[in-house]
Structure 1
Amino acid sequence: MCVKVACVGGGPAGLYLSILLKRQDPSHDITVYERDPEGSTYGWGVTYWRGLLDRLHERDPESAALLDAGSVRWSDGVAHVRDLTTRHSGDQGHGIGRHRLLEILAARARDLGVRLEYERAITAGDLPSGADLIVAADGVRSELRSHHSERFGTRLTPGRNHYVWLGTTKVFDAFTFAFTETAHGWIWCYGYGYGPDRSTCVVECAPVTWTGLGLDRASEADSRALLEKLFAAVLDGHPLLGRPGGTPWQTFRTLTNDTWHHGNLVLLGDAAHTTHYSIGAGTTLALEDAIALAAALREHPELPRALARYERERKAALLPVQSAARYSAQWYENLPRYMHLPPERMFALLGQRHSPLLPYVPPQLYYRLDRAAGQLEPLRRFKRWLGPKVARTVHARALTSRE
């Protein structure tokens, strides 16, 4: 059955969905509407892991091969704490420039016959006529979702810490963390390469540090100059880069929705959910949304059943990721709790920041238990059993407090 699809938002989720739907049935009439000009995008690089690339190769080998070729890789993590450094090996990570990612997906969509209309803003009062399905893939500030926020049960929960998303010409050879102590508290950055001459550098700090350093009132140029001085040891003289339109400090907002579809309107990617940037899952989740929605539409010709299946599947898949993101954000919000540890122990607990147990166990004790659990199968089983029980209890208490 040929369907007409209007996808509002030309980010990774919307573009990849259009690719998958065209591959399933070339007769589908699909248009992607993007309010910004082609080639303009926010952000620097995005991260993903090998598992996602394998799934993309299964669904569309052509675009997956280009993404693979356009990505840089790392397998080490490095933490700089004051003047000490520790390095650990881990799973292979991938980084690609957001501009290059969108360029690859847009070209592939065009090749398959998708219409791409740039500089075309779509509002709730100006929806494309005759569409069987309207996909809101227009990000966390989705105009289409906001118009029906009560129907979707939209909630935005602000985080505590301030952060700024920057680029740099310093090319990191590993996923890099740098923690700097100031007179006003700790400030830290996450850095990772995404091309031959660029890296992403996200800087974060607590509110008291942000105001104490004067970052709340500094100009953008002065703010970057101060950050370059604070992280001089890892930047090696390279500058920090902002976006041409300005790069403001922000506080992260976690977005959730009780339901993801209303009539023939369905939410995709950041329009449906957000997870804290410290777990690096945003792009992966958006693409996995697209995979799940395309599969649901293929297997269920009746639109209500397809959308219900998509929502049910993705909500279930997101639960552990959202839990991990919540605990990851809290780990950084309680950073001083861990900074008295030797760097190698602090870095080990940084890798365990998704654990629901960690906030309730003294850090030194947790480190020793985790080391022992890695060697003894009974302890590993106990940790796997206890962790989800604590997570469910905390989640239930949070729901009760909201009610």
Structure 2
Amino acid sequence: MKLAIVGGGPAGLYLSVLLKRRDPSHEITVYERNPEGSTYGWGVTYWAGLLDKLRAGDPESARAVADASVTWTDGVAIVRDERTVHRGDAGFGIGRRRMLALLADRARELGVRIAYEHDVTGPDAPELADADLVVAADGVNSALREAYADHFGSEVTSGRNRYVWLGTTKVFDSFSFAFKETEHGWIWCYAYGFSGERSTCVVECSPETWTGLGLDALGEADSLRLLEKLFHDLLDGHELIGRDRAGEPAQWLAFRTLTNRVWRRGNLVLLGDAAHTTHYSIGAGTTLALEDALALADALHSPAPDLDTALTLYGKRRRAELVSAQSAARYSARWYENLPRYMRLEPARMFALLGQRHSPLLPHVPPQLYYRLDRAADSLEPLRRLKRWLGPRVARAVHGRDR
């Protein structure tokens, strides 16, 4: 097959590796509009389960990603000025730029052509004319998808809160949160390490807090200084790093959740953020994109009788597999949008409910009562079984209404 993959992010590059590894006769070109080494974001997170899948897909790139990652097991929350620690499962962080470089090196090693600074502006671009398969891996703003938005059934909903991606010179050895109350409302930060020199910080707040603190009007440098003061105990004197926007305001965003009713049109198929997005607070965006690549590679090398059938099966499989993650992401985003509801709890209990924010039951039960029921459910087997049974059923019901 001749394949054109539009978008050189993790999903597009990893797909090229998987397909070229399975069949070296594939002619694969990855088109990336940005220069090599240029990327948004700082670090990405993932968990051990993804590494197992990557090892099955391509042991060489999985080994390189694992070797370049940092790990943590604890969660730490600073609520006002009180620090709480929660023991958890191992998590991993890797710089986005580093991950892209490793996947690009592996793709080129296998014979994939990568064309940087090459913008494919739509489905009629000459680069795509003779491709047997065109993969839209060009992100949430996909030009290929937008050309047929009605066909794909694209829907975008914007979250209420404002957030900004930043870096810091502090290296965190745990996944850390800090919640600060100001006269204009709450503002909070998620922070995690991704190398021996840098960490990611995502700062979020309500629109009222954002405007009340003047963050909507401050230049980036002044915004960073204000945030450094607010989160001084989290940062331990280290600086925050922005995107070098000089006197322009920092790039505060409202998260956009994208869904598509179908994922293919003819020989065009969606992958990663071009197909779906899930709120950053569950830390699954890159994982889900890489899982898309694994599923598409499986479909293309399955016993399916033709390309149309393979692409249809891929879309059905992934949409079904995403139900749980998309439900968790919706509830997680809403938890933060309703943060004041939980901040009256003592910090240890608030942190416990932070870990339960994916629950479809939590918005409907008073926080103190939910906390007590949850503790009881963990100690009584009948309640534990009821909790496991109710959660997925409520999630599926809500998902069905959202569709």
Normalising by structure 1, report the TM-score. Answer: 0.97
Query: Helix, strand or coil for the counterpart of 2:55?
Result: helix
Query: Helix, strand or coil for the counterpart of 2:35?
Result: coil
Tell me the residue number matched to 1:390. Answer: 394
1:106-137 CA-partner distances (Å, limit 9, x unpaired): 00000000000111111223142310000000
Match runs of 1:256-295 below 5 Å? 256-295=259-298
Code of the residue aligned with 1:287 in structure 2: it is L
Match of 1:254 among 254, 257, 268: 257
Match of 1:380 among 381, 384, 390: 384
Tell me the residue number matched to 2:142. Answer: 142
1:131-188 CA-partner distances (Å, limit 9, x unpaired): 0000000000001101111111111100000000000001111000000000000000
Moved more, 283-292 or 118-127: 118-127
**Alignment RMSD:** 1.0
Match runs of 1:2-21 below 5 Å? 3-21=1-19
Match of 2:356 among 352, 359, 362: 352
Tell me the residue number matched to 1:126. Answer: 125
Code of the residue aligned with 2:290 in structure 1: it is L
Tell me the residue number matched to 1:238. Answer: 238
Match of 1:44 among 33, 42, 45: 42
The separation in 2 between residues aligned to 1:107 and 1:398, in whole angstroms, is 41
The separation in 2 between residues aligned to 1:46 and 1:391, in whole angstroms, is 26
Match runs of 1:19-30 below 5 Å? 19-30=17-28
The yes-or-no answer on 1:79 pairing with 2:77 is yes
Q: Report the CA distance between 1:98 and its aligned residue.
A: 0.3
Q: Report the CA distance between 1:375 and its aligned residue.
A: 1.3
The separation in 2 between residues aligned to 1:102 and 1:397, in whole angstroms, is 37
1:264-296 CA-partner distances (Å, limit 9, x unpaired): 000000000000000000000000000000000
Tell me the residue number matched to 2:314. Answer: 310
Tell me the residue number matched to 1:182. Answer: 182
1:44-89 CA-partner distances (Å, limit 9, x unpaired): 0000000000110111111111101100000000000011000011
The separation in 2 between residues aligned to 1:262 and 1:228, in whole angstroms, is 47
The separation in 2 between residues aligned to 1:295 and 1:397, in whole angstroms, is 31
Query: Helix, strand or coil for the counterpart of 1:93?
Result: strand
Moved more, 308-317 or 384-393: 384-393
> Which residues of structure 2 form unaligned runs of 5+?
none
Q: Report the CA distance between 1:388 and its aligned residue.
A: 2.5
Match of 2:56 among 34, 55, 58: 58
Identity of aligned residues (%): 69
Tell me the residue number matched to 1:223. Answer: 223
Match runs of 1:68-107 below 5 Å? 68-107=66-105
Count of residues in correspondence between the two structures: 397
Code of the residue aligned with 1:257 in structure 2: it is N
Normalising by structure 2, report the TM-score. Answer: 0.97
Code of the residue aligned with 2:144 in structure 1: it is L
Code of the residue aligned with 1:308 in structure 2: it is T
The separation in 2 between residues aligned to 1:56 and 1:396, in whole angstroms, is 31
Q: Rate the CA distance shift 1:301–1:37 in 2: closer, same or farther, 3 A.
A: farther
Tell me the residue number matched to 2:343. Answer: 339
> Which residues of structure 1 form unaligned runs of 5+?
none
Code of the residue aligned with 2:384 in structure 1: it is R
The separation in 1 between residues aligned to 2:42 and 2:244, in whole angstroms, is 12
Query: Helix, strand or coil for the counterpart of 2:322?
Result: helix
Q: Report the CA distance between 1:381 and its aligned residue.
A: 1.1
Q: Rate the CA distance shift 1:116–1:396 in 2: closer, same or farther, 3 A.
A: closer
The separation in 1 between residues aligned to 2:77 and 2:175, in whole angstroms, is 9
Q: Conserved in 1, the CA contact under 8 Å of 2:323 and 2:399? A: no
Code of the residue aligned with 1:123 in structure 2: it is T
The separation in 2 between residues aligned to 1:391 and 1:55, in whole angstroms, is 26
The separation in 2 between residues aligned to 1:353 and 1:106, in whole angstroms, is 36
The separation in 2 between residues aligned to 1:17 and 1:28, in whole angstroms, is 12
Query: Helix, strand or coil for the counterpart of 1:171?
Result: coil
Q: Conserved in 1, the CA contact under 8 Å of 2:38 and 2:97? A: yes
The separation in 2 between residues aligned to 1:289 and 1:337, in whole angstroms, is 36
Q: Report the CA distance between 1:301 and its aligned residue.
A: 5.2
Moved more, 124-133 or 271-280: 124-133
Query: Helix, strand or coil for the counterpart of 1:251?
Result: coil
Q: Report the CA distance between 1:398 and its aligned residue.
A: 3.8
Match runs of 1:104-119 below 5 Å? 104-119=102-117
Tell me the residue number matched to 2:365. Answer: 361
The separation in 1 between residues aligned to 2:185 and 2:35, in whole angstroms, is 41
Q: Rate the CA distance shift 1:188–1:20 in 2: closer, same or farther, 3 A.
A: same
1:342-386 CA-partner distances (Å, limit 9, x unpaired): 111111100000000000011111111111111111101111222
Q: Report the CA distance between 1:225 and its aligned residue.
A: 0.9
The separation in 1 between residues aligned to 2:401 and 2:281, in whole angstroms, is 24
Match of 2:374 among 355, 370, 373: 370
